[in-house]
Structure formats: C-alpha cells, structure tokens
C-alpha cells in the first residue's frame, strides 16, 4: 500500500527498527525489523499478526510509549505533520499525544484509574489539552458518553470503572480517546476480550466515529475475522516483518503470502467443518495449501449413551445490601440438559448469561441452590466431600486464563505429578513421572518442559500444560471454560485440534463454554444458548446455526464478524 501523494497521508512509517536491551551480556532483541507503511487520511488501516509479531510495539513507537530499554536507530522515521515523531522534543510529543494522536488499549480496567469517576477521567483530558473549565469539561464528558452510547450519561459520569460492564468500560476509553477529536486513533486489540455482540457494537462505534470525525484509524488485531467489518487496508506482520499489505478485498480474496493464507484458514468457518483445522505450518512448510480437510460430521442421536444429566439446576448468589440486608441474584435458573458420551455440548451466551456459573456448579466449585447433577446416575450434589473425591478426578475443568491457573512457583513436572499423588494414580513416583512425560508428548510439548516453570512458556503452551494436568486424572468429562478465547487464531487452531484428537482417542465428553460462536459451531455436536441464567434454545449445532428459532439466538449469530464469511480458505 504505497501512496504517491504525501498530502493524502496522515502518517508515514519508514524503516522502523525497534530493539530491546535485555542485559549487558545478550544482544538486544529485535522486535520490529525495518518496516515501512503509510496511513492515509480518513482511512482505517488494520495491523494484523499473532502475539509477538511486533504490531503493538509499532503502535507504541508512534506514540513514544516504549520502555526505556527500547533502542530505535536514527535511520528510522515516523513522519506526522511534516515532523519526525522519533526526534521531536518530549513536550512536543506530549502535546500531540492524546490531542492529535490518541489510543484505545485492549484492557480498559488496567487503563482506567479505579479511584476516580469516569467523568473526571474524561474531563482531565479536556482540561489538559483543550484548556476547558471544570464545568465545560463536565458537560463535554456527558456529551462524549452520549456519543459512544453509554445509557444515562448524566448519571454515568459519576460512576467508577468497576461499576460498568466490560463493554461500557471500553466505550469510556473510546470517549476519552476521541475527546479532543484526534486526527489519528490507534485501537490496540480493543475487542479481543469482549462478547461477540459487544464486539460488533464497538466495531460499529469505531467505524461510525471514524466517518463522523474524518479520523484515520490504525486498528491492531490478531483476528483477520474482524478486519473485514472495519478496515480499508490491511498490513500483515509476522516476527517483526511486514509479510503483505493491500486492500481488504485483495488480502481476503487473493492473499499472496502463505502466512496470510494461514491466518485466514486457521479461523473456524461457519460454512464448513474440516476434520482438522489448518495450522500455520501447513502453509509455511508445504505448498501454501492445507491438506486433509475432509468434513467432520457432528450431531447427536436419540440413542446416544448419556454420561451427565442436569435437572432443574438453580444457583442464586446473595449480595450484601446495607448493614444487615442482602439481595438475591439468580445466576442460573432451572437449567436442564443431557451430555452424551464422547460428544461436545457448546454453551454460549453473553457475559453474565450464567454459562460459567453452570460449569463451576457442576464441579461443585459453587454450591447449587437446588437441582440435580447426575453423573452416570449418581447425584453429585448430594455426595459428601469425601464421596465427591472419587468423582473429582472424572470431571475436570480447563480455565480461560492459563497464566492464573498454573502455580508460578511449581515446575511443570510438579504441576502434573501433584494431582496424581493426591488421587493415588500410579504405583510410585517413577511411574508418575513417566506418565507426566507421556502426557507432555501427547499435548505436543518437549520433554525438557517437565523441568521448566510456567512463565517460560507462551500462552498457547501454558494452555497445553493445563490440558495435560487435566489428563493426569484420566477424566471422562472436560469442562472447557473459554479455554481458547484469549489465544491467537493459529494457536487456537492447534488447541482445538488437540481437544478433538483427545476426544477421538479417549472418548472424552466436553462442555465447551465460549462466547465465540464460530469456534462453538466447529467443536460442538449440540449447542445450548443461555441468556440471564436461562436456556433460550438448544439444538444440534448445524440446526441452530441454520435455523435459529429464538430472537436472542438470531441476535448472537448476526453479530459474528462478516470477515469470517469473506475469508478465502
């Protein structure tokens, strides 16, 4: 994407090279390797790549927000308004930052100050850059919250960040970013952790604001699926290098580089279900085309053997209200379903729908208010803690965040061997260690992983360790609670393939909880849709996607990014 008319460009990046000094003994790590690209005026450019590709480092270079150990050579240039941002004075860069070039970060709760109302935080930007009085800034903050779609904005200016939902927090971040009507907005993974419906709302909001204010937008993401809904141009990065750039139409329908083809193909599609999802290596080491893409049949039969049956499950939480009062909050309302052996039940819904509470209540990590959970005919909710121990090894859970679910003080070997000791699996320590080595191999990790600590692994590798830990118990049922939601699409494909291989080999039954509807369709035989603690609709996966009967299900499906349908396999 090269523009001949410099007057049509808001930003020019030339030969950007970024290295990080680690220590005196090691050579600096090169994160960005001499890249060049342009951002035209009134245009949205998507910067796409996996974790570690250098896209966020590139964005932070524009704003001068890199850490002190960053090294950028004098030959690199970032030209904005005729000036090189890498060489301007710090005060001049501060004047530009927030006023002319603004940023929306991925995680609003780490970007918003928890001790100040959101209105004060927006007003601070206006007073600093626009010289507004307190009253003017407060009125403008209300107007901005109105513009980004916050309900009751006159009241919400007084709300603290924790009193808002994730989607509302992200809207506040957007309001703060556009407060001074910047010419360039950098959106760094602004929708990654959001529900599909909230994601669509945020994408639509950014697109509308871009058009209304004639802004340029640099939209950073690891998911090509969302790009088709928002971008005009796409830049694909890998390992600090731009592999390909062009218009959305060109990238989606005629990708030239194998890596771009891989990113498009790794994401589950709604119109097909290959037996195995393609992964990056299928494209990078082969002929640029994935192989063995025969379709995998899905669905349930009336005579399927049932391993788990849930009857009229209810869970109510009680919150303190005042000094002595408490308020009942029903989280799960009269939920009933059956899980066949060797099958996958997908559980979908927005945040707060009750899907995770269902999973935790099945495990007795929450105490059910009422109902039955029948595991091969035995009601788990009526067992004593001692009786439940025998069943805990048979029902395991993989949590969303492998960073939080693995003990950072234990080696991977200790993490795998400890549950085997507790449940007396294996006749002695040597046998348990051998089983741990075998499990590491089974989930695609080398033997030396046994001796390492969790922090030495990537997110995808940690999720594999979490899966291996569950397999030490030789479970019959695995509850996957958003277990691939935070992963790059390529790593997500590897983990989904692994889960499918394990199901094929061991006959595992899965309850797959996710807000990602494309992933759920790929992995599930049956799908259960939840809203506000209740089951809205339940059917075989193909049926529910082709013929959704309930309005809420239709709303969820209509929110799936259209880029998924456009992407060329």
CATH number of the domain that residue 541 is part of: 3.40.50.300
Of 127, 64, 62, whose CA–CA distance to 90 is shortest? 64
Structural domain including 408 reads 341-370+380-566
Q: Which residues does 246 contact at the CB level (< 8 Å), separation at least 6? A: 1, 233, 234
With beta carbons less than 8 A apart as the criterion, state whether 354 and 532 touch. yes
What total number of domains does the chain contain?
1
Residue 118 is assigned to a structural domain of this protein? no
User: How much is the pLDDT for 3?
Assistant: 43
Task: Report how far residue 136's alpha carbon sits from residue 133's, in angstroms, rounded to the nearest whole number.
Answer: 5
Task: Report how far residue 379's alpha carbon sits from residue 511's, in angstroms, rounded to the nearest whole number.
Answer: 18
Residue 454 is assigned to a structural domain of this protein? yes
pLDDT digits (tens, 9 = 90+) for 408-420: 999 999 999 999 9
Residue 491 is assigned to a structural domain of this protein? yes
CA distances from 287 to 7, 173, 261 (A): 41, 44, 11
With beta carbons less than 8 A apart as the criterion, state whether 171 and 150 touch. yes
Measured over all CA atoms, what is the biggest interatomic distance in the chain, rounded to whole angstroms? 75
User: How much is the pLDDT for 487?
Assistant: 75
Task: Report how far residue 17's alpha carbon sits from residue 61's, in angstroms, rounded to the nearest whole number.
Answer: 10
Of 300, 299, 343, whose CA–CA distance to 504 is shortest? 343
Q: State the DSSP string of 246-270.
A: EEHHHHHHS--SHHHHHHHHHSPPS
Residue 58 is assigned to a structural domain of this protein? no
pLDDT digits (tens, 9 = 90+) for 422-450: 888 888 999 999 999 999 988 888 899 99
Residue 450 is assigned to a structural domain of this protein? yes
Sheet architecture: strand order including 233-238:
101-104, 184-188, 216-221, 44-48, 233-238, 241-247
User: How much is the pLDDT for 4?
Assistant: 45
Residue 322 is assigned to a structural domain of this protein? no
Task: Spell out, as residue ranges, where the chain has pLDDT lower than 70.
Answer: 1-6, 193, 286-293, 486, 562-569
C-alpha 179: how far from its chain's center? 27
Beta strands in 280-402 (DSSP E): 306-321, 325-340, 344-348, 370-375, 378-379, 395-398
pLDDT digits (tens, 9 = 90+) for 228-264: 888 999 999 999 999 999 999 999 889 999 999 888 8
Task: Report how far residue 353's alpha carbon sits from residue 530's, in angstroms, rounded to the nearest whole number.
Answer: 6
User: How much is the pLDDT for 568?
Assistant: 40
User: How much is the pLDDT for 201?
Assistant: 83
Residue 525 is assigned to a structural domain of this protein? yes
User: How much is the pLDDT for 222?
Assistant: 82
- Give φ, ψ of 328 to 5 degrees: -80, 130
């Amino acid at each position: 994407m090269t523009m001949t008319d410099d007057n049509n460009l808001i930003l020019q990046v030339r030969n950007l090279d970024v290295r990080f000094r680690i220590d005196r003994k090691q050579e600096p790590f090169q994160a960005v390797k001499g890249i060049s690209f342009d951002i035209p005026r009134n245009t949205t450019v998507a910067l796409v790549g996996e974790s570690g590709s250098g896209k966020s480092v590139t964005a932070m270079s524009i704003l001068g927000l890199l850490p002190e150990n960053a090294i950028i050579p004098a030959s690199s240039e970032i030209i904005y308004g005729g000036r090189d941002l890498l060489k301007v004075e710090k005060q001049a860069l501060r004047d530009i930052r927030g006023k002319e070039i603004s940023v929306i970060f991925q995680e609003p709760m780490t970007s918003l100050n928890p001790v100040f109302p959101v209105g004060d935080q927006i007003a601070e930007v206006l007073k600093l850059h626009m010289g507004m009085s307190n009253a003017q800034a407060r009125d403008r903050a209300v107007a901005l919250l109105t513009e980004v779609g916050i309900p009751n904005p006159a009241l919400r200016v007084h709300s603290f960040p924790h009193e808002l939902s994730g989607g509302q927090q992200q809207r506040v971040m957007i309001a703060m970013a556009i407060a001074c009507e910047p010419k360039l907005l950098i959106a760094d993974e602004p929708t990654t952790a959001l529900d599909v419906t909230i994601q669509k709302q945020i994408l639509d909001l950014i697109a509308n604001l871009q058009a209304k204010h004639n802004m340029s937008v640099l939209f950073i993401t690891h998911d090509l699926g969302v790009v088709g809904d928002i971008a005009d141009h796409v830049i694909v990065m890998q390992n600090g290098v731009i592999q390909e750039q062009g218009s959305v139409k060109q990238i989606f329908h005629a990708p030239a580089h194998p890596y771009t083809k891989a990113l498009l193909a790794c994401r589950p599609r709604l119109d097909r279900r290959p037996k195995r999802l393609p992964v990056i290596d299928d494209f990078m080491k082969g002929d640029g085309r994935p192989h063995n893409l025969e379709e995998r049949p899905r669905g349930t039969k009336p005579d399927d053997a049932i391993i788990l049956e849930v009857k009229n499950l209810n869970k109510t939480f009680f919150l303190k209200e005042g000094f002595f009062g408490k308020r009942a909050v029903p989280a799960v309302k009269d939920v009933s379903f059956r899980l066949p052996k060797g099958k996958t039940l997908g559980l979908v819904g927005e945040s707060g729908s009750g899907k995770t509470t269902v999973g935790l209540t099945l495990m007795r990590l929450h105490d059910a208010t009422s109902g039955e959970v029948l595991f091969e005919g035995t009601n788990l909710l009526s067992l004593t803690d001692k009786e439940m121990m025998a069943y805990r090894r048979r029902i395991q859970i993989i949590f969303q965040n492998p960073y939080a679910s693995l003990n950072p003080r234990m080696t991977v070997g200790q993490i795998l061997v400890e549950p085997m000791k507790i449940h007396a699996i294996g006749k002695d320590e040597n046998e348990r260690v051998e089983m741990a080595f075998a499990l590491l191999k089974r989930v695609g990790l080398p033997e030396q992983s046994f001796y390492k600590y969790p922090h030495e692994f990537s997110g995808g590798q940690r999720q594999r360790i979490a899966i291996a830990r569950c397999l030490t118990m030789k479970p019959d049922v695995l509850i996957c609670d958003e277990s691939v939601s935070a992963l790059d699409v390529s790593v997500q494909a590897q983990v989904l393939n692994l889960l499918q291989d394990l199901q094929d080999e061991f006959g595992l039954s899965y309850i797959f909880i996710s807000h990602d509807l494309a992933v759920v369709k790929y992995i599930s035989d049956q799908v259960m849709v939840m809203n506000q603690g209740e089951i809205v609709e339940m059917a075989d996966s193909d049926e529910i996607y082709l013929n959704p009967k309930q309005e809420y299900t239709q709303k969820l499906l209509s929110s799936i990014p259209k880029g998924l349908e456009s992407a060329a396999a």
